[in-house]
A and B are shown apart, each in its own frame.
Chain A
């Protein structure tokens, strides 16, 4: 295609596709422009203004997330003027909230904290005046602390544009602006589906996973990418693990398919069963009408003798097996191989129909 657009960013000549924004082109080229309100896959709103850059010939700084590139454009992303403007934005955000990282669950995983550090801000030039909202603690999945909200609107946009659950919106205006379900209701009293996407994308500690509270700092947590065990979508997710325990579940959008980082309530909040005390931990054999603990060898011997005897007396087709839509391909393969090659019957099925 020859409808390429040539432009210069920080002295580098780059080409772009028509319709791309300055931010997108810079990202592709590995040029850092900070963002807060920007979130891929949602409308660019240019609300936070930390992504401002200097464009030659433009009177004011422009929000790079909203500005489409044009031929011959000359962009500078790190002039003093740009950095000053970003500092002002970040200092205002800092001063208007309760950003006490000591107790914040997002410490070490916070984009505001990163920006303060990166922009080398010692302290805000404005007086710190948190709004003093009460922390919403009425459900066991999502904790909401509006004192830390920077009103970036990411949660609102993913809820409406990605999940299309249409629960969150802004309410009030100016310094009283908040985000939340309709009528300022608590999550639990709203129609919220608890997909948790709003929490996943919140850049600060305003929305956090309740059950992960005090369970571990991000730098100690290991993320293990896997596939959700519930429905057939097969969402890619990260189990966040610390000391052999799943602390929380976050969406994985690294390679896109099939879920682009989205999850639902089951994949997100349905993993408590893994660590549940009811889990079976040892084989059981029924003796005198009761299931009693046994060793693996005892259990295998018991089954092997019974199966062999029944097969000899009544034929292989008197044994049947139910494999599982919950188990892996490898396990299903082995199960049918077991029934067919070891037992000698085709009586193998699973609950696809149910």
Chain B
């Protein structure tokens, strides 16, 4: 997030797109609702699904799935043609405006209506609302990123914010909401194929030299491959061994049958986790780890705030914290790691990751600190890009709309969108073992619009079969207006209804994110 969580409650306008925040980040959802109900903020929701936030919205734009770039270009078209853009800000702090202006010219409200189904008048109303707000916060999540045009979608959000001078100010910015406790931290720590901790490029000689000196080994400058590229690399024989810590790709990754084939082909698969999950069942070695309540350490939340976790109970049996397991394995392999506590590891991070340099355990004992925090006397950074963008001038990206990779046709006439529900988390390994949440949401349901239900002879609560080119699953239907006509929604929490058997592994060329929000699907009563 460029802003802090707290700022959401006190901004003038919130534009929530591709984020079902009341279910996926409920405490942030409450802040959005408080902003509206108690502090008079305006709320624009852009989402194909009738999510709870639509009840609180001043205006809800229900676009066809995957048409986000067109919609945002349309908003910008109206803002520019009505002169609502922030001319001074654009001139002083950004570049590339002319190119942007040229591209969005053709995205008139009428043209955007053709693509997205959003009435031209509604688009205009929303554009005027956003364009005239003093400070506006854009919130987005996987509904924006999980598309083959995910990177374009994200850049479009940034374009819109900069166009109105809504970036680098209190309450104004672009705020991706992270779905998992430490996605932010995993990225910050360099669990990415192209960067060391704090986004320092592996390809840079200078950076590599620094890490070579600190770690006492020579390092590779060849960028690695992403999670989503691994299955093909295994099938092609390039990758022979895989070490998986605390993840469950056998439910979370696209096109599971293909992935299973790949995992079975490996010479060795090591899985380190708290439960024997679907991936662990295919492993050659399984290592038992301690869970969050059984160890010390830090998580970085979605607003970049680094916060402590503390050991409250003992781990069961021989299970150990992941940091201990990694250290012991490294030592066994001839590279000594002899950390006696997580605090010692953080000291090393302070040395090597400039944005974490000032974040010590002592300082975050009471309250976490949001990075960048370059020194121990720095208070941390509440919102990014104040006065100046990280790269200097903010860059507009002129982007054209590209349709999703797989669209409905005669054989697969509907769209399948996937996501989460309030009561469960990711692949369900934890929440499905929790009594309360499972009582409230005991089984996977396929959400389907009443009109589609009628068309395909499907009854509420009755079993249906859902199939794509890649596979099929069965589950009970929930007939509801939450799903727009022509689109069904399935969550990915339940192994019995492993929706990722169905999803399209087509990737965004830059972000390498699979298109979970749109693929073509067929349904029938089962």
The 4 closest A-B pairs by CB, nearest first: A281-B317, A234-B301, A232-B178, A328-B297
Which partner residue on chain B sits nearest A224 by CB separation? B312
Please name all residues of chain A whose beta carbon is closer than 8 Å to the beta carbon of B284 when the two chains form the complex.
285-286, 302, 306
Please name all residues of chain A whose beta carbon is closer than 8 Å to the beta carbon of B146 when the two chains form the complex.
353
**For the complex, is B340 an interface residue (Cβ under 8 Å from A)?**
no
Contact (Cβ within 8 A) B433 A331:
no
Contact (Cβ within 8 A) A283 B330:
no
Over the window 268-298 of chain B, the binary record of Cβ atoms lying under 8 Å from chain A Cβ atoms (1 yes, 0 no) is: 1010011110001001111111011111011
Contact (Cβ within 8 A) A325 B302:
no
Query: How far, in whole Å, are A165 and B23 apart by their CA atoms in the complex?
Result: 12
**For the complex, is B246 an interface residue (Cβ under 8 Å from A)?**
yes
Contact (Cβ within 8 A) A272 B346:
no
**For the complex, is B197 an interface residue (Cβ under 8 Å from A)?**
yes
Chain A interface: which of B89-97, B181-189, B390-398, B451-459?
B181-189
**For the complex, is A126 an interface residue (Cβ under 8 Å from B)?**
no
Query: How far, in whole Å, are A227 and B239 apart by their CA atoms in the complex?
Result: 36
Considering only residues 218-252 of chain A, those with a C-beta below 8 Å from chain B are: 222, 224-236, 239, 241, 244-246
Query: How far, in whole Å, are A224 and B439 apart by their CA atoms in the complex?
Result: 27
Which partner residue on chain A sits nearest B215 by CB separation? A341
Please name all residues of chain A whose beta carbon is closer than 8 Å to the beta carbon of B238 when the two chains form the complex.
317-318
Contact (Cβ within 8 A) B433 A272:
yes
**For the complex, is A333 an interface residue (Cβ under 8 Å from B)?**
yes
Contact (Cβ within 8 A) A322 B318:
no
Chain B interface: which of A8-16, A29-37, A156-164?
A156-164
Considering only residues 313-338 of chain B, those with a C-beta below 8 Å from chain A are: 313-314, 316-323, 326-330, 332-335, 337
Query: How far, in whole Å, are A291 and B282 apart by their CA atoms in the complex?
Result: 9
Which partner residue on chain A sits nearest B238 by CB separation? A318
Chain B interface: which of A53-61, A106-114, A257-265?
A257-265
Contact (Cβ within 8 A) B436 A269:
yes
Please name all residues of chain B whose beta carbon is closer than 8 Å to the beta carbon of A300 when the two chains form the complex.
328-329, 332
**For the complex, is B88 an interface residue (Cβ under 8 Å from A)?**
no
Contact (Cβ within 8 A) A265 B219:
no
Contact (Cβ within 8 A) B434 A272:
yes
Considering only residues 40-89 of chain A, those with a C-beta below 8 Å from chain B are: none
Query: How far, in whole Å, are A111 and B430 apart by their CA atoms in the complex?
Result: 35
Contact (Cβ within 8 A) B181 A280:
no
Contact (Cβ within 8 A) B434 A257:
no
Number of interface residues of B (CB under 8 A): 148
Query: How far, in whole Å, are A315 and B5 apart by their CA atoms in the complex?
Result: 45
Interface contacts beyond A140-B435, A324-B247: sample of 4 additional A-B pairs, CB < 8 Å, sorted by A: A284-B286, A296-B318, A327-B246, A353-B514
Contact (Cβ within 8 A) A336 B178:
no
Give the shortest distance, in Å, between A196 (CB) and chain B (any CB): 9
Q: A300-B328, A308-B333 are in contact. Are A140 and B439 (CB under 8 A)?
A: yes
Please name all residues of chain A whose beta carbon is closer than 8 Å to the beta carbon of B267 when the two chains form the complex.
306, 310
Contact (Cβ within 8 A) B302 A244:
no
Contact (Cβ within 8 A) A271 B242:
no
Q: A303-B329, A332-B182 are in contact. Are A320 and B307 (CB under 8 A)?
A: no
Over the window 1-34 of chain B, the binary record of Cβ atoms lying under 8 Å from chain A Cβ atoms (1 yes, 0 no) is: 0001110000000000000000011111010011
Q: Among B180, B329, B431, which residue has its beta carbon within 8 angstroms of that of A232?
A: B180
Q: A326-B247, A354-B253 are in contact. Are A332 and B220 (CB under 8 A)?
A: no
Please name all residues of chain B whose beta carbon is closer than 8 Å to the beta carbon of A272 when the two chains form the complex.
433-436
Query: How far, in whole Å, are A256 and B27 apart by their CA atoms in the complex?
Result: 13
Over the window 170-195 of chain B, the binary record of Cβ atoms lying under 8 Å from chain A Cβ atoms (1 yes, 0 no) is: 00000001111111111111111110
Query: How far, in whole Å, are A228 and B181 apart by their CA atoms in the complex?
Result: 7
Q: A227-B307, A234-B299 are in contact. Are A340 and B219 (CB under 8 A)?
A: yes
Considering only residues 267-282 of chain A, those with a C-beta below 8 Å from chain B are: 269-276, 278-282
**For the complex, is B113 an interface residue (Cβ under 8 Å from A)?**
no
Contact (Cβ within 8 A) A321 B5:
no
Contact (Cβ within 8 A) A324 B220:
no
Q: A285-B284, A334-B345 are in contact. Are A279 and B297 (CB under 8 A)?
A: no
Please name all residues of chain B whose beta carbon is closer than 8 Å to the beta carbon of A139 when the two chains form the complex.
436, 439-440
Q: A231-B181, A328-B323 are in contact. Are A274 and B346 (CB under 8 A)?
A: no
Contact (Cβ within 8 A) A164 B193:
no
Please indicate which of the listed interface residues A246, A272, A327, A346 has the most CB atoms of chain B within 10 Å of its own CB.
Answer: A327
Query: How far, in whole Å, are A120 and B439 apart by their CA atoms in the complex?
Result: 44
Contact (Cβ within 8 A) A265 B437:
yes
Which partner residue on chain A sits nearest B293 by CB separation? A274
Please name all residues of chain A whose beta carbon is closer than 8 Å to the beta carbon of B431 when the two chains form the complex.
266, 270, 273
**For the complex, is A301 an interface residue (Cβ under 8 Å from B)?**
yes
Contact (Cβ within 8 A) B425 A266:
yes
Contact (Cβ within 8 A) B227 A350:
yes
Considering only residues 193-233 of chain B, those with a C-beta below 8 Å from chain A are: 193-194, 196-197, 202, 211, 215-217, 219-220, 222-228, 230, 233
Q: Among A271, A282, A283, A351, which residue has its beta carbon within 8 angstroms of that of B434?
A: A271
Considering only residues 140-193 of chain B, those with a C-beta below 8 Å from chain A are: 145-146, 177-193
Please name all residues of chain B whose beta carbon is closer than 8 Å to the beta carbon of A302 when the two chains form the complex.
284-285
Q: A281-B319, A348-B191 are in contact. Are A229 and B437 (CB under 8 A)?
A: no
Contact (Cβ within 8 A) B227 A281:
no
Which partner residue on chain A sits nearest B439 by CB separation? A140
**For the complex, is B37 an interface residue (Cβ under 8 Å from A)?**
yes
Please name all residues of chain A whose beta carbon is closer than 8 Å to the beta carbon of B422 when the two chains form the complex.
193, 264-266
**For the complex, is B449 an interface residue (Cβ under 8 Å from A)?**
no
Q: Among A188, A254, A266, A320, which residue has its beta carbon within 8 angstroms of that of B225?
A: A320
Q: A162-B30, A304-B332 are in contact. Are A231 and B313 (CB under 8 A)?
A: no
Q: A233-B301, A236-B307, A353-B228 are in contact. Are A330 and B342 (CB under 8 A)?
A: yes
Contact (Cβ within 8 A) B190 A336:
yes
Contact (Cβ within 8 A) B27 A229:
no
**For the complex, is A345 an interface residue (Cβ under 8 Å from B)?**
yes
**For the complex, is A100 an interface residue (Cβ under 8 Å from B)?**
no
Contact (Cβ within 8 A) B242 A322:
yes
Which partner residue on chain A sits nearest B331 by CB separation? A300
Contact (Cβ within 8 A) B245 A234:
no
Q: Among A188, A231, A323, A344, which residue has its beta carbon within 8 angstroms of that of B186?
A: A323
Give the shortest distance, in Å, between B439 (CB) and chain A (any CB): 5
**For the complex, is A211 an interface residue (Cβ under 8 Å from B)?**
yes
Please name all residues of chain B whose beta carbon is closer than 8 Å to the beta carbon of A20 when the two chains form the complex.
none
Query: How far, in whole Å, are A65 and B35 apart by their CA atoms in the complex?
Result: 24
Please name all residues of chain A whose beta carbon is closer than 8 Å to the beta carbon of B280 when the two chains form the complex.
280
Please name all residues of chain B whose beta carbon is closer than 8 Å to the beta carbon of A299 when the two chains form the complex.
285, 287
Contact (Cβ within 8 A) A278 B276:
yes
Please name all residues of chain A whose beta carbon is closer than 8 Å to the beta carbon of B305 when the two chains form the complex.
234, 257-258
Contact (Cβ within 8 A) A330 B287:
no
Q: Among B189, B202, B274, which residue has its beta carbon within 8 angstroms of that of A333?
A: B189
Give the shortest distance, in Å, between A327 (CB) and chain B (any CB): 5
Q: A139-B436, A327-B322, A329-B182 are in contact. Are A342 and B335 (CB under 8 A)?
A: yes
